[in-house]
Amino acid sequence: MAMEIERKFLVNGDDYRRQAFASDRITQGYICSGHGRTVRVRLRGNCGYLTIKGPSLDGGLSRYEFEKEITLDEAHQLLKLCEPGVVDKTRYLVKSPDGRHTFEVDEFYGDNEGLVIAEVELGAPDESFEKPDFIGAEVTGDRRYYNAHLRVNPYCLWREKD
């Protein structure tokens, strides 16, 4: 099992699209989500994935993650077992200005339309990184922005309250 260390940010504007070197449509569902633990099934491009994540540590900065590539057929079958609701988004990959990090920028659809979040994975919690100009406020550790939470409490229900 690997430790995932990442920071999350809101995104300003749509310049990330121009800067992206790749993008994929992602659909994901949750077989199980609760107490900070999730079992997720994901379709990304022509691949399927099964991911298990543990509870967040360090105020949401890190968590244990196990991910295994599965066949598309297996992913489609497992999606039938998922809790109600799916997360639908396009993920854009953008290099940091110094080229040392890759930001994953997720543009959400459906009930999460209008939400765009960028994540950067780090090797250590205190690792420095250079932010692209479209990076906005940090939301690391804010559970509202977790994909499993967006599935049951979508952005359209709470964005106007902020």
The catalytic residue positions are 30
Measured CA to CA, the distance from residue 7 to residue 90 in angstroms comes to 19
Backbone angles phi, psi at 59, to 5 degrees: 65, 30
DSSP state of 16: H
Measured CA to CA, the distance from residue 118 to residue 12 in angstroms comes to 10
Q: What angle do CA 113, 118, 123 make, to 5 degrees?
A: 150
